[in-house]
């Protein structure tokens, strides 16, 4: 099923090779004070990152731009009321952005399938709102793939008193709806996509240039749209294609770079899915697998895994330490507790390696982490009145010099976190030391990890005679030179063979 705006696999192109190299940034108030000024500042950051995005042959068809912010209750209460939807108090409902097919028949079929899943999952449907859009600035390519965009409002069941329990139910419903619609025969079913469905955050994004985002979504100019956290992204899809759904931010991250180990990461996630268990998800976990949406880009797949790890009970910082670990094996100054943390989690998850700078948020905390090689920069500054700005480069927001308090660069393998609930910036050392000390990882390793040299000797294997080995070598193309120069040194000394001219 080919996503709108993307060609089918052909020649050297395949959708699974989708990568991007982009610009991202976020603005946050350390004290958690919501305001429209935070949104305006974030949009200014986005405009200053426009050169980090890309356009197609038409200068008004962009690779993607978007904004993630905290659920703006005052704005949504007003906007939903105008659509005839009455919302309960903050955190008692979820708001979702939904992309739908342009064709009325397909759109109605997707809506019916979505609402059926919501009913089966016990999520009360409060109503829908048509999101106002202005596509006058869009190029013909972006307009041809443009979805119908609506907001859905869902009540929080009384039984789900825990906020994360509500998020898990929303996640399960979204995954079930995505699976049901993708397996259906609905025409244009690939146009169905849910950028966000949460009680904590909402995403406005599309196949846009940075300068088109506010014009396309008039909502973003409303003074009632307030947030203490706002993340933006301008996409450059490198050697691949733009689309509405592949614009950033995703539900938890925006990403500057690419994941080079993606195929291995996907294979390992698939291989381990049969062993996945969670007391928090219970039987719902079996319904929502598979974890990774193979139609997504590398960033989308990273977001898929991060979402499961977080909703499965880990903090975002914990999950990111699993997915993007520091180099710890020969780190002489790293504490034993932190090394044990990384070694333990290396048994559960392979590193998602690549030049990557990743911003992340759960709607309360927002931060960024950098790959171990530090090949994608992240720079930040903090003001005296509690504003934090972090982006993939400097100069994204004009801040008077006398307002500045601190500035710096995110170091390779390090993490930067703003916690609006605790009203502070957590240092990398403090954050990771606290997480490493939460569980007895060193004890678990000593009790459960088995070294290869400690295994019992293997049973004796019947070795074929010389003539049989020689015949097999000839059948599989080995030459006497291969055996002498390559195989023998490896077998006798355990050393890398020295060769050239196509055998290196």
Helix/strand/coil percentages in the chain, nearest 5: 35, 20, 45
Q: Look-up: residue for tokens 């600035």?
A: 137
Residue 423 has a CB neighbour count (10 Å cut-off) of 13
Distances (CA, A) of 26 to 15, 196, 389: 29, 18, 6
Distances (CA, A) of 126 to 117, 296, 448: 15, 30, 49
Query: Please, where are the H alpha helices in 62-193?
Result: 73-82, 104-120, 140-145, 163-182
Task: Name the burial class of residue 420, with classes exposed (0-12), middle (13-18) and buried (19+) by CB atoms within 10 angstroms of its CB.
Answer: buried
Distances (CA, A) of 326 to 113, 237, 314, 334, 418: 43, 27, 18, 10, 20
CA 394 – CA 376 distance, rounded (Å): 13
DSSP string covering 32-43: ---BHHHHHHHH
CA 459 – CA 328 distance, rounded (Å): 35
Instruction: Give the gyration radius of the chain's Cα atoms.
Output: 25
CA 67 – CA 46 distance, rounded (Å): 9
Are 97 and 151 contacting, i.e. CB atoms less than 8 angstroms apart? yes
110 as an active site residue: the answer is: no
**What is the DSSP secondary structure assignment for residue 247, as one 8-state letter?**
S
Annotated catalytic residue within 6, 21, 22, 306: 22
What are 451's two structure tokens? 């070294």
Q: Would you please indicate which residues are annotated as catalytic (active-site) residues?
A: 22
């Amino acid at each position: 099923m080919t996503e709108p705006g993307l060609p089918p696999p052909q020649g050297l192109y395949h959708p699974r090779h989708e990568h991007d190299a982009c610009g991202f940034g976020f603005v946050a108030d350390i004290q958690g004070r919501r305001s429209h000024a935070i949104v305006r500042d974030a949009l200014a950051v986005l405009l200053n990152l426009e050169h980090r995005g890309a356009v197609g042959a038409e200068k008004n068809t962009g690779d993607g731009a978007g904004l993630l912010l905290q659920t703006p209750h005052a704005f949504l209460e007003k906007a939903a009321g105008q659509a005839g939807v009455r919302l309960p108090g903050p955190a008692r409902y979820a708001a979702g952005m939904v992309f739908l097919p342009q064709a009325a028949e397909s759109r109605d079929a997707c809506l019916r399938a979505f609402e059926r899943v919501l009913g089966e999952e016990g999520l009360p449907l409060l109503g829908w709102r048509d999101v106002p859009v202005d596509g006058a600035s869009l190029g013909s390519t972006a307009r041809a793939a443009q979805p119908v965009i609506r907001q859905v409002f869902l009540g929080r069941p009384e039984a789900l008193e825990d906020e994360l329990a509500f998020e898990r139910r929303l996640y399960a419903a979204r995954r079930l709806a995505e699976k049901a619609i993708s397996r259906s025969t609905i025409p244009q079913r690939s146009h169905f996509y849910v950028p966000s469905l949460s009680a904590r955050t909402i995403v406005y994004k599309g196949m846009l240039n940075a300068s088109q985002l506010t014009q396309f979504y008039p909502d973003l100019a409303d003074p009632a749209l307030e947030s203490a956290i706002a993340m933006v992204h301008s996409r450059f899809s490198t050697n691949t294609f733009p689309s509405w759904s592949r614009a950033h931010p995703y539900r938890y991250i925006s990403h500057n770079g690419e994941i080079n180990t993606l195929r291995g990461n996907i294979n390992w996630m698939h291989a381990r899915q049969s062993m996945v268990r969670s007391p928090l998800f219970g039987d719902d976990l079996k319904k929502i697998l598979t974890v990774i949406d193979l139609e997504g880009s590398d960033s989308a797949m990273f977001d898929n895994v991060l979402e499961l790890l977080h909703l499965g009970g880990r903090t975002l910082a914990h999950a990111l330490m699993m997915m993007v670990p520091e180099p710890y094996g020969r780190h002489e100054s790293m504490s034993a507790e932190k090394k044990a943390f990384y070694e333990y989690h290396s048994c559960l998850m392979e590193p998602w390696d690549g030049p990557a700078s990743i911003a992340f948020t759960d709607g309360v905390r927002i931060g960024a982490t950098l790959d171990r090689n530090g090949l994608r920069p992240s720079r930040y500054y903090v003001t005296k009145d509690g504003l934090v700005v972090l982006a993939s480069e400097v100069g994204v927001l004009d801040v008077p010099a006398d307002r500045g308090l601190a500035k710096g660069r995110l170091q390779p393998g390090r993490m930067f976190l703003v916690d609006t609930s605790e009203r502070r910036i957590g240092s990398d050392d403090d954050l990771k030391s606290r997480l490493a000390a939460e569980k007895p990882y060193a004890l678990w390793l000593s009790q459960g990890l088995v070294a290869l040299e400690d295994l019992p000797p293997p049973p004796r294997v019947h070795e074929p005679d010389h003539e049989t080995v020689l015949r097999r070598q000839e059948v599989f193309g080995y030459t006497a030179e291969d055996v002498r120069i390559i195989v023998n040194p490896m077998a006798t000394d355990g050393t890398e063979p020295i060769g050239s001219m196509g055998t290196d």
